[in-house]
C-alpha cells in the first residue's frame, strides 16, 4: 500500500524483475489487478479501462521498446503530459 499526495514526487526503486513495470501497468489498467484496489483521488478505479484512467488524469510514459522510437526523449515525455493542458 502506498499513497501519493498532490504535488509530491514518488520514486519506485528495485532491481530487475521485482515488479516495478508490472505495478505501473496495473495502475494504468494495462494489466488487471488480481487482488486489492486502485484508488485515484479517493475513488476506486480498479475497473476503469486505460483510456478512462487517462481521462481521470493518470499518465504512463514507458521506456525501452514501448516508446515512440522516432521521437526524442523530450517528445516522448511530452506525449505523456499531452492530456494535461498547460503542462509544457
Each residue's pLDDT tens digit, 24-75? 999 999 999 888 888 988 899 999 999 899 888 887 777 666 677 788 878 8
* Residue 15 included in any domain: no
Do the domain assignments include residue 69? yes
* pTM across the whole model: 0.66
- Residue 38 included in any domain: yes
* Domain assignment of residue 69, given as a range: 20-81
- 51 within a domain of the structure (yes/no): yes
Name the domain count of the chain.
Answer: 1
Residue 86, in any domain of the structure = no
Of 86 and 28, which is predicted with more confidence?
A: 28
DSSP string for 4-72 = --TT--------TTSSHHHHHHHHHTSS--SSS--EETTEE-TT--HHHHHHHT------GGGS-TTS-
Rounded CA separation 54/84 (Å)? 10
- Return the pLDDT at 17: 94
Q: What pLDDT does residue 66 have?
A: 65
> Is 10 contained in some domain?
no
Place of cell 481521462: 55
35 within a domain of the structure (yes/no): yes
**Backbone phi and psi for residue 73, each to the nearest 5 degrees, phi listed first:** -55, -45
Amino acid at each position: 500500500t502506498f499513497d501519493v499526495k498532490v504535488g509530491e514526487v514518488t520514486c519506485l526503486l528495485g532491481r530487475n524483475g521485482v515488479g516495478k513495470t508490472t505495478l505501473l501497468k496495473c495502475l494504468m489498467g494495462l494489466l488487471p489487478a488480481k487482488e486489492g484496489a486502485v484508488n485515484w483521488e479517493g475513488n476506486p478505479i480498479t475497473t476503469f479501462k486505460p483510456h478512462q484512467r487517462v481521462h481521470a488524469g493518470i499518465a504512463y510514459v514507458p521506456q525501452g521498446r514501448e516508446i515512440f522510437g522516432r521521437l526524442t526523449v523530450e517528445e516522448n515525455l511530452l506525449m505523456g503530459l499531452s492530456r494535461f493542458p498547460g503542462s509544457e
